[in-house]
Structure 1
Amino acid sequence: MSNRLIHYSILITGLFFASCNPERRVEGSKEAVERMKSMQIKRVTSPQVVTIVDDWGERIVKQAQLDWEAQAKKPNANLSALCQLQGIAEIDSLEQLYGVQILLLGTKDMKNGQLSPKEKEVLDAYLYNAENKLPQSTNIQKLGDSVLIYNAPIAVQNMICQKCFGDDATKLGLWRVKFLKNEVIRKVDGKSLVKNKK
């Protein structure tokens, strides 16, 4: 058999095996596209990062709340675990998708050593508003140059406040979403930034 025939037979065999697994090619191409998107050079200003965090934070909290409520309504739901956001696969997926950390905070977290002094000041302001029946709103705080925290208060009537913070007079419940600036820039679509400029 000539060298040319050997090369042809190897090529045909290779093409046969490649065509036998189209799912792998599609999966690989999706990963490649995502990798290429994340490697794009993007110029993202600080105000743009805050706008993105505000948008993503709102989406994350809305979805996380729905996922939490769905889990809590299941028979034999472990509420103490749910209040720690344990065992909620959908919320774990949200964290991975956006590159964030999601927590539920309440009055007891004033003593939480994981929170920065600045975060405790904001939590204290939410607590003051809750005690005085004042309106609550979402909040974004910057911690240095690399971290942004999105806080969203939970309505007192909501199941989360009743089940997780019912032993507290104020029933203060707060979603905390921690964003890393570099992850936001890496994950944001460059095209959406161009659209927002127009």
Structure 2
Amino acid sequence: MKYICGIFVGFCVGLVACNTGTKLDNKKIAEEMKSRKVMHITPIQLTENTFREGKKTANWLDKRLLNQLERFPDKEDLVKWGSVCNLRLLGVDSLKKQYGITIQRLALRNSPERLAVSKTALQVWDAYRYNAEKKLPMDANVQQEDAIYMLYSQPVILASTTCLQCHGTVGKELNRKDFEALKASYPSMDSLTNYTLNEPIGIWNVLFPKNRLAQPMDIK
């Protein structure tokens, strides 16, 4: 993995005070200057911060999705229930607006050439797909995308029986009628069914601007 020698995050602003007779708040000025202090991040810190913030983001999305699924009132209508899985309903747009990060979820059985956020993301997806097919371990992954971005990837695991109602075995957890209804609304359902509990079904990609990795994100 290639690294950049260092990244400086922040900006410096010169303060000029005119003798207007106004008393300056030295404590406030000191705090302001501290908040504007240039922060140096080593390549190792950059990787560690990407891993920490990426894991926090992906786990938050997993938890938020499961909570929304469990709270949905009409679980008998799988088409409506499945709409809860839409990324926009999970708040990815607000995270992008606040932190500048790009989040995507890719299915392991679908070819994502037109969907992956970058060539690096496509290569990572291919490695995850291979590991899934060979039943090999699938761990979180951090890659330097380019001079501006870092990429965090993590497998999406089918960790709840709730998810089996749409993604389980057709004819077992998912009856044929419901499967046909889901497929009519979601054409990719063919590649999103016949999974078992704790099996990887996709991956999270979180693309971070490097200049936003100096401080932890407050995701709630």
Same fold at TM > 0.5: yes
Match of 1:116 in 2: 118
- Runs of 5+ in structure 2 lacking a partner? 1-27, 168-190
Structure 1 counterpart of 2:149, from 147, 150, 153 = 147
CA separation in 1, counterparts of 2:88 and 2:73?
Answer: 16
Q: 1:111 to 1:148 in 2, by over 3 A?
A: same
Q: 1:48 to 1:137 in 2, by over 3 A?
A: same
Match of 1:83 in 2: 85
Please show how residues 119-134 of structure 1 align to structure 2 within 5 Å. 119-134=121-136
Structure 1 counterpart of 2:58, from 57, 61, 81 = 61
1:36-73 deviations in whole A, cap 9, x for unaligned?
Answer: 63x32111112111111111111111111111111112
Matched, 1:184 2:207: no
Cα shift at 1:112: 2.5
Match of 1:100 in 2: 101
Q: 1:102 to 1:36 in 2, by over 3 A?
A: farther
Matched, 1:48 2:49: no
* 3-state DSSP of counterpart to 1:177: strand
Q: Which entry has the higher C-alpha Rg, 1 or 2?
A: 1
Of all paired residues, the percent bearing the same amino acid is 25
1:56-112 deviations in whole A, cap 9, x for unaligned?
Answer: 1111111111111111122247455433312234x5554455432222111325232
Contact 1:127/1:172, CA 8 A, preserved across alignment: no
Aligned residue identity for 2:89: G
TM normalised by structure 2 equals 0.58
CA separation in 2, counterparts of 1:92 and 1:137?
Answer: 26
CA separation in 2, counterparts of 1:171 and 1:44?
Answer: 33
Q: 1:145 to 1:100 in 2, by over 3 A?
A: same
Matched, 1:167 2:193: yes
* 3-state DSSP of counterpart to 1:141: strand
List, as ranges, runs of 4+ consecutive aligned residues in structure 1 with deviation greater than 6 Å.
33-36
* 3-state DSSP of counterpart to 1:172: strand
Tell me how many residue pairs correspond in the alignment.
Answer: 155
- Runs of 5+ in structure 1 lacking a partner? 1-28, 190-198
Report the structure, 1 or 2, having the larger helix content. Answer: 1
